[in-house]
Amino acid sequence: MKLVNPDQGMLYYIIEKKRPDIAKKIKETGTIETIVVGLGRQGMRHAELMQQYGTIITAGIAPGRGGTRLLETIPIYDNIKECLREHPNIAVASIWRHYSTAKDATIEIIETGIPVVVLISEGIPIKDVRDILVAARKHKTLLIGGNTPGIILPPEGIKAGMLPDVFYPEEISSEKFGPKGVTIISRSGAILYHLSDALASVGIAQNAVIGVGGDGAIGSTFRDLVPLAMEYKNTDLVVVAGEIGGCQEELLAKDIKKNPTKYQKPIVTLISGAHAPEGKTMGHAGAIVSPGLDYGTFQSKKQALESVGVPVVNSQYDLITEVKKKLNNKTYFNIENYYKKMKTVWDSPSKKSGWGTLITKVMPNNLLISGYPLQDIVEKKSFLETAYLLVKGEFPDKKTLEKMRKIAIDAAKLPVPKIKRLKNEDISKTLVKYFVLDEELVQFPEEGTDGAVKKTIFCLGRTARYLSRILDTEKALKQMADNEPFSHVIYRVITGNLKVNEQHSKMIEAMIVACVDHGVTPPSAQATIIAASTRTPYEVAVAHGVGAITDVHGGAGAKAAQFFDECIIKSQKENIDVAQAARKIMKTYIESGKRIEGLGHRLHTKDPRRDVLWNFASKTGIDGKHVQLSKKVSTIFEQVRGMSLPINVDGVIGAIVADMDLNPAMAKALFIYGRIAGLSAHYFEECASQPRMRQINFAEAIYKGKESRKI
């Protein structure tokens, strides 16, 4: 069933009265954004239930936890000001702070102008409530609570608080819900569930349910909320669920008598506690009958409301009878649908185990980085932009990108620690030494909203410097200018050339970008994530991942380059066709049990990065004999071996590296360099969104990021 559009529901109506600017944004985006303030056990648990119900939780607020994530996907900020800088259209806040800190948190939220504040916290001292109420009135905030179970809007599928999914909206067709119904406003949370079931059992829908709160002093009372509900055009009747104690019901009756034009729609009231003894507290701070006074009793409330024409009942049966009478026996939905829904809710299986990642969605023949196809990123975006996307989930704007470039350039200028590289030492092992011994990298800060991405970019700059030392190209790197694109820095590092070949520079960067990430299952990602789960320092965790990039994982490109080079040399020496030379070498490989690298993939039958790299090679004039052979090698292999193995990204990179006349080992260097960006993203995601020392089943990872979108 399709829910009501957010701009057609009661919550939107309230927001529009309070903050027309936010209402305008809701109309444009179709989204009502909410935040959760206070992420203790209750806040965390109910945030998950609110999200499952359909509420859009944009952010969480928890001092000291800024930079982490709620429910793996929702950013957490230290305070509301930081949050609103990133998300300026927050319309609803639910507050779950302990009563001792609830005042400051609530006033801070109110003063930002968020129009609807639902104060779940209970037991807040009266003097603190006084200050909260003053702030709410000053800023014209709709404050619900404290000690409220919250609000729920069934037609829109939105709730803020702890009300369960037992309320049912109008059905206007077999496929769509409607906005009309009865609004329930109650002092008690528990009684709301019974009222809902009673009304739903005779086909009466609820368009909004509001728990005003059970403490002695609260933000919005019946006198505030009943007229507000009646102003909304799709409310047909208001059910007021009161109880003994306090004088909310008497004040409502007084206001009805004084301002009858505010109450143009029917009201039915249910009052609980008819048989409570005087002076006995009945659950809530406000639910106490004061001895000798003529208010707060069942009789005083009943008399006051009936004197202004509002029927008062004391049972669910009488409530149903009275509401049906007021609505002329109108029904809003097929009752069987309500019972089917409730059966589905109660019979639903336990939640399957799993954990989420926002970074990369890996599918057969497709890779999405935060929703963007990797092949499109390779074609249109730089390495620094891609690294930023991996960590932040969006591409940087021009101003931010320039800041990132400067960080990377400055990092590349700094000298590297002195280490001893053994003869024939694998490049990944050498890089591990640099990571763990580089004090510049260790000391670079990673706090704040942009701390993770700045650290990543700094690391990429440092890695350029490490590679220049390993490849003996530092002389070329020292010639770089402060305003140079970072792609030129990479070119200098890889080639050692002082003069930049722009086409080759673009090609090298494209190959690096093609390697940035392949989800959480590759060994390098797993190694980094496991290290991150113990909160190992960034540089150590990334070193774990880089150390796992061996000839088995990450070395295929270099071996593919060697294979293609061998084929070309044989063709030239024997003066035979390249394809014929490839067949001969393949047969030799097969007979000796040697693997032909760069062919086949555990997931892709057509590697999504293949064509974009071939096209890049063509555009940049690098599609020589090696690249041309790479386009035929799968067919040749099938002819020789009788098996269909498509060429993968390693094979294509190996061919391009060979055509650029680079050392075959450069293919692995490019793979490692690109993958460092992805490993960084996995490190920060693990630290931000997952508990420490968790047991990790990588097969249970679920992509929860953006779905497919265009650059």
Residues acting as catalytic residues: 284
Half-sphere exposure at residue 547, Cβ-oriented, CA atoms within 13 angstroms = 14
Token pair listed for 102: 């609830």
The answer to whether 218 touches 246, Cβ cutoff 8 Å, is: no
Q: How many CB atoms lie within 10 A of CB 651?
A: 31
Token pair listed for 510: 């494209």
> Which residue's entry shows tokens 């800088």?
85
Q: How far, in Å, CA of 506 to CA of 663, rounded? A: 18
Q: How far is CA 407 from CA 410, 425, 555, in A?
A: 5, 30, 30
Angle at 305 between CA 192 and CA 251, to 5 degrees: 85
Q: Which are the contacts of 598, defined by CB distance < 8 A and separation ≥ 6?
A: 556, 557, 559, 560, 563, 630, 633, 647, 648, 650, 651, 652, 654, 655
Q: How far, in Å, CA of 256 to CA of 236, rounded? A: 17
Evaluate the omega torsion of the peptide bond into residue 146 and state whether it is cis, within 30 degrees of 0: yes
Q: Is 459 exposed, middle or buried (0-12, 13-18, 19+ CB in 10 A)?
A: buried
First to last CA, the chain: 32
Q: Which are the contacts of 572, defined by CB distance < 8 A and separation ≥ 6?
A: none
Q: How many CB atoms lie within 10 A of CB 194?
A: 15
Q: How far is CA 476 from the centre of its chain?
A: 42
Half-sphere exposure at residue 704, Cβ-oriented, CA atoms within 13 angstroms = 15
| 3 state DSSP class of 523 | helix
Rounded to 10 degrees, the C-alpha dihedral 84/90/96/102 comes to 60
Write out 83-152 in H/E/C secondary structure: HHHHCCCEEEEEECCCHHHHHHHHHHHHHCCCCEEEECCCCCCHHHHHHHHHHHHHCCCEEEECCCCEEE
The answer to whether 685 touches 517, Cβ cutoff 8 Å, is: no
